[in-house]
Structure 1
Amino acid sequence: MAMITATFPGGAVVNANFSGFEVSTDQPEDNGGTNSAPEPYMLFLSSILTCAGFYAQRFCQQRQLSTEGMTMTLDIDRHPESRRLEKVKMAIQLPDGFPDKYQKAIVRAAGMCSVKKAIADPPEFEVITE
């Protein structure tokens, strides 16, 4: 994977640049931003859901099961005082006619997400100056 570079165009905007893409982030107005882009925390949560969604989608594609009407949702529980993330809850809303025999298997497939695995077995973080 290529290195990710952050740039700081002004205000509360921070952009991530990698592999020819630029992802903008901002903060809500009540946190000093202009709400011009998603806040980083929401991108973090979105990455969990879209990664799990990719595995659920691939599961269906490999079995020639329609994903029309299928959606996934993510909700979180946070500690009321520390705001620490305590639980991530994902739900797959299966399309009509989805075979019962695959319901547990698609949940297992969604659980294969590499973003989820990275959180479940967290890496060491290091911040330095250069």
Structure 2
Amino acid sequence: MTGSTPQTLHTNRARSGDVHRLEVAHVDGDAYSTEVRGHRLQVDQPLEAGGSDTAPTPTELFAASLATCVAFYAGRYLHRHGLSQAGLRVRTEFTMATDRPPRVASMLLVIVPPPELPERRRAALLAVVSRCTVHNTLHEPPEIDIELAPPPSLP
């Protein structure tokens, strides 16, 4: 998963396993950034949605997260079987729901395997990538709690 130091937030809920922590901070307008193990990610909104379009939206990063997880699992499968990863691509499309609540309604991922992938490996590759961590998480969603931090103490 990540090499971040397991820590817990101020919460009453018991957590099991490693806890990985990150924090999102406001940058400007609709832009926010976060650091994950020293890597900086930023999100924004498109101009037509009132943002400055300096970065992908959180929803686009969500779709990218699934696509890159699938690509990673495909690459590992190819490597494990001594096959080239050259030319491996994952194309992704998503549509938004037209009703409430706002959410992604559907996603299509198309894996473009390396041209020399043997026909007998295609079904196995598809089976492996369909078990990537992000895909598994979407099929068995985590418990999600959203809390408001207490106000800072006054001196």
Return the TM-score normalized by structure 1.
0.90
Higher relative contact order (CA 8 A, sep 6+): 1
Tell me the equivalent position of 2:31. 13
The answer (yes or no) to whether the contact 1:8–1:15 under 8 Å persists in 2 is: yes
Residues paired across the two proteins, number: 130
Q: 1:79 to 1:26 in 2, by over 3 A?
A: closer
Structure whose CA Rg is larger = 2
Return the TM-score normalized by structure 2.
0.77
The answer (yes or no) to whether the contact 1:2–1:18 under 8 Å persists in 2 is: no
Counterpart AA for 1:103: R
- Provide the aligned C-alpha RMSD in A: 1.6
Tell me the equivalent position of 2:115. 96
Counterpart AA for 2:115: D
Tell me the equivalent position of 2:127. 108
**Greater strand proportion:** 1
C-alpha distance after superposition, 1:33-56 (max 9, x if no partner): 110111111011000000010000
**Greater helix proportion:** 1
Offset at residue 74 of structure 1 (A): 1.4
- Equivalents in 2 of 1:85, 1:126: separation in Å? 20
Q: 1:113 to 1:26 in 2, by over 3 A?
A: same
Matches within 5 A, 1:32-47: 32-47=50-65
Q: Unaligned stretches of 5+ in structure 2?
A: 1-18, 150-155
Matches within 5 A, 1:8-87: 8-82=26-100, 84-87=103-106
* Identity across matched positions, percent: 25
- Equivalents in 1 of 2:103, 2:57: separation in Å? 17
